[in-house]
Structure 1
Amino acid sequence: MPRIKTSKEEVLKKVIPILRERGVCKSSMSELAYACDIQKSHFYYYFNNKEQLIKEVLGTVNSYFNYNFFRVIENNTIDIREKIEKIDSLLTTMFKNSYSGCIMANTALETAHLTPIYEDEFKQFFENFISGLQILLEFNYSEKESLSFAEQIVQDLEGGILLMRIYKDHKYLNTAILRMKKVILKL
């Protein structure tokens, strides 16, 4: 019999990997509640519907990424090489622990043609990702070049994540991260 008491944060922590792996359309509220070891009715205590749950999941992922990403970028006590290594570590934590990929890109691809209700969350994630990289790139490039390279790096990383997921091989993301390092450091 499922447990009754759990926090909203615990529920989100358990739901995120499932949604990353299975996707929104293939994950029912019943299955998600079961995976969280709670009754479906208790699940609805936290989330009125699946759309609200997905918005909360995307918001949680956005917050986690932004906090950790910009904490590194804005840290004035470490040099650019250390920043890049810490960003590599963050990308590893977020994307390489399994072959499930990027929950933002996965959900965007899965739901974009169905409903635009998550569009703001996707845009926020990718715009912040690009702007953070642009800050690092401005050490060696003009503002215009930095923006162009930042967009290119995010596209490359997301492509690497997608290929990693398809082929179950981390080399694709590892190669994209290596290219990111070379561009940022102007090697």
Structure 2
Amino acid sequence: MPKAKTSKEEVLQRVIPILRERGIAKSSMSELAKACDIQKSHFYYYFNNKEQLIKEVLATVHGYFKHNLFKVINNNDLTITQKLEKVRALIDKMFRNADSGCIMANTALETAHLNPIYKDEIQHFFEDFISGLQALLTPSYSRKESLALAEQIVQDLEGGILLMRIYNDHKYINNAVSRMEKIILKAH
């Protein structure tokens, strides 16, 4: 029997891995409510519809990533090596699951051609990801060069995540992270 009381935050935390793995189209509101161990009607108490749910999931993931990325980048008590260790740990936590990968990229690929309503949140996520990496590159590169390198790193990481999923082999994301670390360390 489903639980009677679950917070909105708990619901979001439970649906994020499901949506990351299964995608939007393959995840019905009924299935998501069941996975959260709540009644479907209780699910609609928090989210008017699936689009609102997805927007809140993306905003939650983006907020978590941005907060943790910039907490590391802006921490002047950490060496660049310590920052890279923490960024690697964040990347591992966010993207390393071979069954799911990056929820932002997954959602973009699944919905961009059908309904671009999630595009802004996804763009902001990647802009923040690029901006954070760019901040780590600015000691040795111009603004334009650091931006180009940060964009290249994010593209490489996302490609690594995709290949990790396709081949079920973490070497692809590990190699992309290692290349990121070398580029950033070279800047210091």
**Secondary structure at the counterpart of residue 43 of structure 1:** helix
Mean Cα deviation higher: 163-172 or 48-57: 163-172
1:8 is matched with which residue?
8
- How much is the aligned-residue C-alpha RMSD, in angstroms? 0.9
| Deviation digits for residues 87-146 of structure 1 (CA, Å, limit 9, x no counterpart) | 001001111144310000000000001111111101100000000000000122111110
TM-score by length of 1: 0.98
Alignment match, 1:28 = 28
Question: 1:168 — aligned with what?
Answer: 168
| Whole-Å separation in 2 of the counterparts to 1:145 and 1:184 | 12
> Within the alignment, does 1:93 sit opposite 2:93 as a pair?
yes
Alpha-carbon deviations, 1:60-83, whole Å to 9, x = none? 000000000000000000111111
Counterpart-to-counterpart distance in 1, 2:100 and 2:89: 17
Amino acid at match of 1:165: R
**1:3 is aligned with what amino acid?**
K
Give me the whole-angstrom Cα distance separating, in 1, the residues matched to 2:2 and 2:113. Answer: 35
Who is 2:84 aligned against?
Answer: 84
- Counterpart residue type for residue 28 of structure 2: S
TM-score, normalising length from structure 2?
0.97
Equivalent AA in structure 1 for residue 133 of structure 2: L
Task: Name structure 1 gaps, 5 residues minimum.
Answer: none
Runs of 4+ deviating beyond 6 Å: none
Q: What secondary structure is seen at the aligned counterpart in 2 of 1:5? A: coil
**Preserved CA contact (<8 Å) 2:98 2:164:** no
Which whole-Å CA distance do the structure 1 matches of 2:122 and 2:65 have between them? 12
Task: Determine if the alignment matches structure 1 residue 123 to structure 2 residue 123.
Answer: yes
Instruction: Find the aligned partners of 2:131 and 2:85 in 1 and give their Cα distance.
Output: 18
Which segments of 5 or more consecutive residues in structure 2 lack a partner in the other structure? none
* Distance of 2:97 and 2:28 partners within structure 1: 24
Question: 2:169 and 2:183 mapped to 1: Cα distance?
Answer: 23
Alignment of 1:1-187 (within 5 A): 1-186=1-186
3-state SS in 2 of match to 1:118: helix
Q: Is the 8 A contact 1:140 1:185 kept in 2?
A: no
Give % identity: 73
Contact kept, 8 Å, 1:140 with 1:184, in 2: the verdict is no
Distance 1:21 1:161 in 2: 13
